[in-house]
Amino acid sequence: MASYLTGSEAFTRENQTSAHTNAAQQTPWADKYRGATVEDLDPPPALSVSPNDPISAALMAAYERDYTHLTVISATKRSLLGYLSIPRLKELIQNGTVKEADPVSAAMQRFNRKRGIYQVITMETPLEELEQFFESQTGANGDHREKQQFAVVTDAGRKFVLGVATKADLEEFVKRRP
């Protein structure tokens, strides 16, 4: 025996189905992070070096704190210029491209300020958004970019570097959380 629905019953059932589908799509992140923010990662304070510092001093500071990325800031203006990836730096030293006596500026990755669009990551940024930042290959301006391995955590006005969050920090957070 066939069953027929009224128009309002069909509309209600259709909306329930689509709402259930949307909830199912959000479930992996919702279950994984449960409303947590970057602050919940408890990122260690950023360790910044100057472009004029010797590479050996930057390496020593990174080893002492077990950091994989250091921010590079201007010695005079304290503005964020770029970063130093320790794994990449080790490769450059091994290949002979740079020496430990060279200044950090010889090995640092500079931020491209000409693009003008920068995705701000603050302590209040939801972890879902941070994961999307790491996984996405599209920048804030829609341009193609490589997947990111770390994020510089700043205040909302981008005046102060508060810390660095890595993809590994995010993975460790998920493992720690019951």
**Strands laid side by side in the 80-85 sheet:** 48-49, 69-73, 80-85, 109-110
Q: Which of 72, 66, 59 is nearest to 99 (CA)?
A: 59
What pLDDT sits at residue 93? 95
Average per-residue pLDDT for the chain: 80
Q: Which of 61, 25, 29, 31 is nearest to 46 (CA)?
A: 61
Alpha-carbon gap, residue 89 to 115, rounded angstroms: 25
In the chain, the domains with their CATH numbers are 38-176 (3.10.580.10)
Q: Which DSSP state fits 149? A: S
The pair of structure tokens assigned to 135 is 């996984």
What are the pLDDT digits (tens) for 80-133? Answer: 888 999 999 999 999 999 999 999 999 998 877 665 567 889 999 999 999 988
Average confidence (pLDDT) over 139-155 = 77
More confident residue, 159 or 121: 121
63: pLDDT strictly greater than 90: yes
What pLDDT sits at residue 76? 86
C-alpha pair distances (Å), 100 with each of 34, 61, 83, 109, 118: 44, 13, 17, 16, 31
CB 48 within 8 A of CB 78: no
Q: Which DSSP state fits 106? A: G
More confident residue, 118 or 66: 66
What are the pLDDT digits (tens) for 105-115? Answer: 999 988 776 65
Confidence of residue 45 (pLDDT cuts 50, 70, 90): confident
Confidence of residue 27 (pLDDT cuts 50, 70, 90): very low
What pLDDT sits at residue 43? 86
CB 129 within 8 A of CB 33: no
What pLDDT sits at residue 53? 96
More confident residue, 26 or 143: 143
